[in-house]
Amino acid sequence: MSKWLVKTEPGDYSIDDLKRDSTTLWVGVRNYQARNYLLEMKVGDEVLFYHSNAEPSGVVGVCKVAEKPEPDKTQFDQKSIYFDEKATKEKPRWFCPKLRFVKKFNKLIPLSELRTEKGLQKMGVLQKGSRLSVLPVTEAEFKIVLRLAQ
DNA sequence: GCCAACGTTGGC
DNA sequence: GCCAACGTTGGC
């Protein structure tokens, strides 16, 4: 099973929102590389939940894949900010898995702390210029983050 | 297919 | 708010 990390701005959708909702469709990803990662997600995969553009930014909890990706309905909705005029129902461009809340860490693990961890130096989210909102995480990296959360 | 212009992301 | 990094668009 694979591990992942998803980014979200807490003002848009935070770990507390996911805790309240229990599950959510991860709509709105509009980057092909990120989409391809979403499509690789399998039910049961564990996902680090990351707050970006936050004070401070960092990993705040864990969720998991509850349902495999389905076409993201917002791409067909003209009123949605995620509307994509080039997408059709016959040939959807964008997909969203359903994510289920697992836990919120007692403390946020800030980027600065992740950066000082030896085992995390190659972690995707720490790489310079990394802007992908969906990223793979290795088993070892995932374990280290969980340890830091304790 | 190249590449300039433009838009977005996201740390700081 | 700044700006580096990267993605996308569209003229040619």
Q: DSSP letter string over A3-41? A: EEEEEE-TTTS-HHHHHHHSEEE------HHHHHHHHH-
**Is A77:A96 a contact under the CB 8 Å cutoff?**
no
Write down the pLDDT at residue A129.
85
The ranges of chain A with pLDDT < 50 are none
A114 CA, C4 C1': Å apart? 21
Cα–Cα distance for residue pair A41/A64, rounded to 1 Å: 10
A22: left (phi over 0), alpha (psi -120 to 50) or beta: left
pTM of the prediction? Answer: 0.93
Write down the pLDDT at residue A74.
93
**Is A141:A3 a contact under the CB 8 Å cutoff?**
yes
Cα–Cα distance for residue pair A124/A85, rounded to 1 Å: 31
Write down the pLDDT at residue A130.
87
Residue-wise pLDDT for A12-40, tens only, equals 999 999 999 999 999 999 999 999 999 99
3-state secondary structure of A69: strand
Question: What are the residues with a C-beta under 7 Å from any atom of nucleic chain B?
Answer: A 7, 9, 30, 52-54, 57, 111-112, 131-133
Nucleotides of B under 7 A from a protein CB: 8-12
